[in-house]
Amino acid sequence: MIEAVGLTKRYGPTLAVDDLSFTVRPGVVTGFLGPNGAGKSTTMRLILGLDRPTSGVVRIDGKTYHELDRPLRTVGALLDAKWVHPNRSAYAHLLWMARSNGLPKRRVQEVLDLVGLTAAAKRRAGAYSLGMSQRLGIASALLGDPQVLLFDEPVNGLDPEGIVWIRTFMQSLAAQGRTVLVSSHLLSEMAVTAEELVVIGRGRLITQCTTAEFIERSSAATVFVRSPQLSKLEPALAEKGFTVETDGEGLKVSGASTEEVGDVAAAVGAVVHELTAKRASLEQAFMALTEDAVEYQTGHDVVTEGA
C-alpha cells in the first residue's frame, strides 16, 4: 500500500505538490492522472525518496523509502526508460541491480524472460528501441519481486501487441494482491486498465475514486429523457439543480443519474417514453473535471500567414 499524507514540495517559489493526500491500495491497478504540470512526476519521485518533501510524508507498506533495508524487494519502479548506461547490456544492468540488493543471479534471467528480452539480453542498452527500453525498465521494476510497483508512462514506444501485453501484465500483478500505480496520458488505455483513479491538478488532489465513478460524476455524462410531458418535466428537473437542455424530442440532463431523472418524473406525474444514460469517455470526463487545473492553455485564435 502507498499512503501519502499532507505531501508538499516546493522548489524555491514554485509549489509543485500542495498538501496532497491519497491512498493506493493493493489488488487493483490505480491510474495516476493529471494535466501537464500537475505534479505527477514530482509525487512519484517523493514516493521513491528521490526528492524530500517540504512537508508531509509518504509511506510504502508503512515505511518511508529511506527506511527500507533492501528497497527493490519492497517497491519497483519505472520512471525513465532511458536511464540505463548506453554501453551496458540489459543483462549486465540487471545483474548489477540484483547484486546491490542481495538478489539471486537467476532472478535476472527470470525477469528477462517475463518481458520478452531474452534474445536481446547481451545487446547494448543504447541500441534498444524505446519499446525495448520500456521492457527493460519493467524488468528492472520486477527484479526484486516487489509488492508495490510504480510505472510512469509504461506504454510509450510499445507497439499494439506490447500495449496489450503490459495492460494484461499490470492487471495480473494487481490480481496477485500487489499495489500497482500507473501514470499515463493515454486516457483511452487507462480506461481499460485502471480500476481506480487518483486525479491531481496544480499539485492538489482533485478526486480519488473508481474509474466508473469518475466518469459518472463528470458533467460530460448526461441522461436523455423523452416524454410527451416535457413542459412539466423540464422545470422540475431544473428546480432540482440539474442542467437541462432541449435535445430533439427530449431533454439532455447533466449532473443526474437515470434513477434521479426517473424519480423526478414520477414525482410530477410525467410519462417517460425513453430514459437513457449517455456515458462520457474517460477522456471527456477528465477534460471536464480538470479544466480549471490545466497549467498550459492553448490559444483559440487562428494566426493567418502574414499576420
Query: Rounded CA gap, 135 and 248, in Å?
Result: 51
Query: What angle is formed at CA 209 by the lines to CA 189 and CA 265, rounded to 5 degrees?
Result: 100
Tell me what pLDDT residue 307 has. 35
* Beta strand pairing call for 222-226 and 243-247: unpaired
CATH 3.30.70 domain locations along the chain: 222-278
Enter the C-alpha cell of residue 131.
Answer: 519499446
Report pLDDT digits (tens) over 83-116: 888 899 999 999 999 999 999 999 999 999 999 9
Enter the C-alpha cell of residue 212.
Answer: 466508473
CATH number of 222-278: 3.30.70
Report pLDDT digits (tens) over 15-48: 999 999 999 999 999 999 999 889 999 999 999 9
Give the C-alpha distances (Å, rounded to integers) separating 307 from 299, 301, 304.
Answer: 16, 12, 6
- Residues with Cβ < 8 Å from 137, sequence gap 6 or more? 78, 80, 81, 83, 84, 154
Asked whether the beta carbons of 26 and 175 are under 8 A apart, the reply is no
Q: Is the pLDDT of residue 296 over 70?
A: no
CATH 3.40.50.300 domain locations along the chain: 2-210
Tell me what pLDDT residue 294 has. 61
Strand ranges (DSSP E) for the chain? 2-11, 14-24, 29-33, 55-60, 75-78, 148-152, 179-183, 196-201, 204-210, 222-226, 243-247, 250-254, 274-278
What pLDDT band is residue 220 in, cutting at 50, 70 and 90? Answer: low
Give me the chain's average pLDDT, please.
89
Enter the C-alpha cell of residue 13.
Answer: 517559489
Query: Regarding predicted confidence, which is higher, 136 or 301?
Result: 136
- Residues with Cβ < 8 Å from 240, sequence gap 6 or more? 256, 260, 264
Query: Regarding predicted confidence, which is higher, 213 or 23?
Result: 23
Helical H segments across 116-244, by residue range: 130-142, 160-175, 187-193, 211-217, 230-239
Tell me what pLDDT residue 303 has. 38
Predicted TM-score of the model (pTM): 0.79
Tell me what pLDDT residue 219 has. 58
Report pLDDT digits (tens) over 234-243: 999 999 999 9
pLDDT over 90 percentage in the chain: 70
Report pLDDT digits (tens) over 155-180: 887 888 888 988 999 999 999 999 99
Element (H, E) at 261: helix 258-268
Query: Rounded CA gap, 285 and 199, in Å?
Result: 11
Report pLDDT digits (tens) over 113-150: 999 999 999 999 989 988 899 999 999 999 999 999 99
Tell me what pLDDT residue 300 has. 42
Q: Residue 49: count other Cβ atoms within 10 Å of its Cβ.
A: 17
Phi/psi of residue 66, each to 5°? -70, -15
Q: Which of 222, 214, 226, 197 is nearest to 279 (CA)?
A: 222
Q: Is the pLDDT of residue 292 over 80?
A: no
Q: What is the 3-state secondary structure (H, E, C) of 71-95?
A: HHHCEEEECCCCCCCCCCEHHHHHH
Mean pLDDT check: name the lowest of 152-166, 175-189, 291-305: 291-305
| Residue 66 identity (one-letter amino acid) | H
**Highest mean pLDDT range out of 24-38, 74-88, 210-224?**
24-38
CATH number of 2-210: 3.40.50.300
Phi/psi of residue 135, each to 5°? -65, -35
What pLDDT band is residue 293 in, cutting at 50, 70 and 90? Answer: low
